[in-house]
Amino acid sequence: MKAAVFREVNKPMEVEEIEVSKPGPREVLVRTAAAGVCHSDMHFFNGTYPGRLPVVLGHESAGIVEQVGSDVNYVKPGDHVITCLSVFCGHCEDCLTGHMSLCQEPEVRRGHDEEPRLSHGGAMMNQFANLGSFAEQMLVHEHAIVKVREDMPLDRAALIGCGVTTGVGAVIHTAAVEPGATVAVIGLGGVGLSCVNGAAIAGASRIIAVDMVASKLELARKFGATDVVDASAGDPVGQVMEMTGGGVHYSFEAIGLKVTTEQAFQMLRRGGTATVIGMIPPGQMVSLHGPDFLMEKTIQGSMMGSNRFRVDMPRFVDFYLQGKLHLDDMISSRIKLEDVTDALLALESGEVARNVIMFE
């Protein structure tokens, strides 16, 4: 099959012919229909986060089941599915206490003594996030997919595989935003726009979108933002504090920077909660003003929106088909697999929400 192979940091990926194994026990072979190009892929492409090379990147995807291995009874060939990087085992402490997105059990991957799922010329090829969706096919554990209704367009469905679940989930699961609350979202990529959309669905009374790109601020209004703050036109914390008369109940950092994480905490009102979604680079420390904790302000992280994706994603599909999730507006362009490197580099400009790779 054809796949975009990542072999060296900051070097363009070439589309290569690689080999994919047959499905083993509890494994599913999926024909990739669409794959979103997410900033998380960029973090590994530019070396911000280290990874094992060579690897097939990509993790935000949807497709159609081609084959199933033994012991698989959840899906069958022909089923439409969305993938999720938070593959779960179903029986560890994290899974059994309702924190499936934190599961790290190795059994969802093949062992070192087994034939690799992907290879090239007999050499092992790694799968990013146990998925590797920048390829025509994905061989995954059955707990990496969720079955969805067939009237859902698969290019829009792919977005639910990461950005939507991460952003909306951070609002409704991690932070548990209640109706009438005030919300600020810093960073308006795919995840940030999904946060804005999730806050609107949750019934927030005021949703303040913060970014430095005018086109994204305008786009955020389509997703439910009631107010926008241009961070390039002055201190965003001061602007939010003035607009709200003392800060928001909930803030969300959707970029992954030290400065914006600190800003998210600073723009809280008394008793407020800041949720950090962005991937802050390893080694970076965040500084917070100690006395703020006496005001019962909270800062917390979120992994993939604290999802229960087998439950959440079909609901998000319904939300889209009911007109509540604005996925059509999130897609900046539809591209071919060979354009993936350019799509990753476009994320650095801050102008793009999501480019989606479409497979024939």
Report the length, in residues, of the chain. 360
CA gap 87, 309 in Å, rounded: 9
Q: Which residues of 123-142 are buried (b: 16+ CB within 10 A; e: fewer)?
A: eebbbbbbbbbbbbbbbbbb
Q: Is 162 a catalytic residue?
A: yes
Catalytic residue among 40, 61, 86, 101: 40
Q: Is 302 a catalytic residue?
A: no
The amino acid occupying position 27 is E
Catalytic residue among 39, 43, 173, 326: 43
Catalytic residue among 59, 143, 249, 326: 59
Q: Is 40 a catalytic residue?
A: yes
Residues forming beta bridges with residue 67, ordered by sequence position: 29
Nearest of 6, 19, 42 to residue 137 by alpha carbon: 19
290 Rama class: left (phi>0) / alpha (psi -120 to 50) / beta: alpha
Q: Is the CB of residue 126 less than 8 Å from the CB of residue 55?
A: yes
Q: Could you tell me what percentage of the chain is helix, strand and coil, using 3-state DSSP and rounding each to the nearest 5?
A: 35, 25, 40
Is residue 333 within a helix (H) or strand (E), and if so which, with residue range? strand 331-335
Catalytic residue among 84, 95, 103, 162: 162
Distances (CA, A) of 222 to 60, 227, 238, 255, 327: 23, 11, 25, 20, 10
Distances (CA, A) of 218 to 81, 192, 204, 230, 263: 32, 13, 19, 11, 21
Give the catalytic positions in this structure: 38, 40, 43, 59, 162
